[in-house]
Every structure is written in C-alpha cells, then in structure tokens.
C-alpha cells in the first residue's frame, strides 16, 4: 500500500484484498487502485471523483449515494452490486461488468454505458443524459446557488458547479427532488452562513439541510 499524498487520507492499492470492509463516507478523490478485491464492502456516501479503480472486484458491494465523477473504472467487476441514488458523470466504463447489479434512482451523465458488459438500460431504474440537461431557474434560486458557492467549503467540494464553472444542473435537480424551491433557497442561505467543514458529496448537503431546517 502507498499513500496518495495529493488528497489527505487517500491511497493507492495494488493487487490486494479488502473484502468486507466499511468505506462509508470515504473520500476516494484521485485515489488509484489496480486489480484489488473489494467484494462485499460498503461504499455508501463515498466520492470517487477523479479516481482510478481499474480491474477491481466490487462483487456484492453497496454504493448508496456514491458519486463517480470523472472516474476510470475500466475492466472492473460490479456483479451483484447495489447502486442507489448514485451518480456516474463522465465515467470510463470500458469492460465494466454489471451482471446482476441492482440500480435504484441512479443517474448516468456523459458516460458511455454501451461500453459496459451486462448492462440493460431498459430494466434498470436509471436516467441517462448524453450531456448536462437544461433547467429553467428562477432568478431567486440562481442567485442563491451562486451565493452559496461563495462558502469556501461548498466551493472546495465542487458539488454545485461543473469543471467549467457552470451550475451543476443534475445535482440541483436532485436537491429539488428533496426540497421545494422556497425551502432550498432558505437552505442555501443557511449553508452559506453556517457550514464550516469539509465535505465531498451532495448527500452531505442533503443531510445537513434536513438536520438544520
């Protein structure tokens, strides 16, 4: 094992077994793993932003609210894995095997699902977008989003903006599924004023709002 110094707490794993481990809430940003066995592990509420997990085995692992953003999963095995409220954004799925995997309310954006194996888009509870969808925003909501991104922890997390600096419409749509617009604007104001710690996933913001509103 070698530590990935680019992001505190992350790592590089090669040719090892980590079976049945609890990785809940882990930030895997820019981690690099090859040919590792993570079978029966818990990856709920994790971020795989910019990570490389190639030729790894995730048999029967769980990925509730997991976020794969710019992730390279080439050749990995997700047989019987469970995905719920997960996001795949600009992910390399070449040769990835999803045989008997379960998907619930999962989003694929700018990701070639046809490069994966045993992936039947018709039978899964998923949404596929070739590119970022459009959403008409009220002036009040757009202002609230831009204001909340002035919070240094929100800005650092990158959950509300895209790599080119635009509003992340997918994540905003998810927030609007959990809160009405008026409540969300109020929540953004609360986040801007009171959120004072590092976080890595949209699920953290949802949890924060539900707890504090």
Closest to 149 (Cα-Cα) out of 203, 205, 107: 205
**45 DSSP assignment:** T
| Coil vs helix vs strand at 167 | strand
- pLDDT tens digit string along 107-145? 999 999 999 999 998 889 999 999 999 999 999 999 999
Interstrand relation of 2-4 and 10-14 (parallel, antiparallel or unpaired) = antiparallel
Per-residue pLDDT at 182 exceeds 70: yes
| Residue 18: band (very low, low, confident or very high) from pLDDT cuts 50, 70, 90 | very high
Sheet (strand 106-109) strand order: 67-69, 87-89, 106-109, 126-129
pLDDT tens-place string over residues 74-111: 999 999 999 999 999 999 999 999 999 999 999 999 99
Rounded Cα distance, 94 and 26, in Å: 24
Task: Name the pLDDT band for 2 (thresholds 50, 70, 90).
Answer: very low
Q: Are 75 and 55 in contact (CB under 8 A)?
A: yes
- Average pLDDT on 56-68 reads 98
Q: What residues pair up with 83 in beta bridges, in sequence order?
A: 63, 103
pLDDT of res. 163: 86
Which pLDDT does position 8 carry in this prediction? 54
**Rounded CA gap, 107 and 128, in Å?**
6
Task: For residues 63 and 94, give the distance between their C-alpha atoms in angstroms, rounded to a whole number.
Answer: 19
Is residue 166 pLDDT above 80, yes or no? yes
Mention every residue, 6+ apart, whose C-beta is less than 8 A from residue 137.
145, 167, 172
């Amino acid at each position: 094992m070698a530590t990935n110094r680019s992001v505190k707490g992350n790592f590089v794993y090669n040719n090892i077994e980590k079976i049945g481990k609890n990785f809940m809430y882990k930030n895997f940003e820019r981690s690099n793993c090859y040919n590792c066995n993570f079978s029966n592990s818990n990856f709920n509420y994790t971020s795989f932003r910019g990570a490389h997990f190639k030729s790894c085995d995730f048999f029967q692992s769980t990925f509730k609210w997991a976020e794969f953003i710019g992730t390279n999963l080439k050749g990995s095995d997700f047989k019987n894995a469970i995905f719920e409220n997960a996001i795949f954004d600009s992910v390399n799925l070449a040769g990835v095997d999803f045989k008997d995997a379960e998907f619930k309310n999962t989003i694929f954006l700018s990701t070639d699902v046809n490069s994966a194996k045993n992936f039947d888009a018709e039978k899964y509870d998923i949404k596929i977008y070739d590119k970022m969808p459009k959403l008409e925003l009220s002036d009040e909501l757009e202002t609230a989003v831009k204001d909340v991104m002035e919070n240094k922890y929100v800005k650092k997390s990158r959950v509300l903006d895209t790599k080119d600096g635009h509003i992340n419409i997918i994540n905003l749509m998810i927030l609007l599924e959990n809160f009405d617009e008026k409540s969300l604007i109020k929540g953004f104001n609360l986040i801007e004023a009171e959120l004072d710690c590092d976080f890595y996933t949209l699920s953290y913001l949802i949890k924060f709002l539900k707890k504090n509103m």
